[in-house]
Structure 1
Amino acid sequence: MQHTGEMKGAPLTIAVATGANGSSCFFQDAGDGYGYRKGQSRTIVVTQDETGVRLDIPRNRGWQRIEAVEFVGIGAAPALVRIDGKPARDVRFDARTRRLRVALPNEGVKRIELSR
């Protein structure tokens, strides 16, 4: 990227550090101006448990889209990855970096489960 103006169209990846249960949230808005004061923003919540993550991604109103979830610290590739109960199609495991990348088919995904 040459400047921050190019970031608006760049997709984002949520990184989840494995090893403990917990939750996290992050705030997203246009990145400039004061629209957030008028509710022009969204808060994304990620909750992790022993089997995967639950995602609460509010409707996208033109901000950078969430493209994938990347699990960091995975010891081995899971036997199966499910997105909302269905087998995930675009999953990549890198044994060297111990990372598992799960592409989201859309931002409406509610749950990613990892079966060992």
Structure 2
Amino acid sequence: MKIGSVLVHAGILTSTELADALAIQAGVATETIDGYTILEELIRSIPASVALHYAILPIRREPNALIVASETAIDPISIAAISRKIYCPIAYVIVPKGQVTVALRRWYTTTKNFG
């Protein structure tokens, strides 16, 4: 287990506090999401194989990028690889532990598998 997860499991940090710390370290924003309210059009923008491999969830489109949620920092090489695979620039935000995981199960590992 990573130290952040250990601290959350021990009750020393909340998952929101951990997300905030990870976001500061990565230099990105933090958000809270409801994975059940994401538009199906956004879900279709990332194939299941990519979403599950990188543990990312598309949450909105902005003028210059598709914004994805992650529970951890995403390295620049992975960002470039994801962008190539989906033919679209991406940017990301960090969300509290569990939010992406639950949404990935809901959208990508059910009978609605999008790719």
Using structure 1 for the length normalisation, give the TM-score: 0.23
Q: Would you tell me which structure has more strand in proportion to its own residues?
A: 1
Higher RCO (CA-CA < 8 Å; seq separation 6+): 2
Specify which structure has the higher proportion of helix.
Answer: 2
Q: Which protein has the larger Cα radius of gyration, Structure 1 or Structure 2?
A: 1
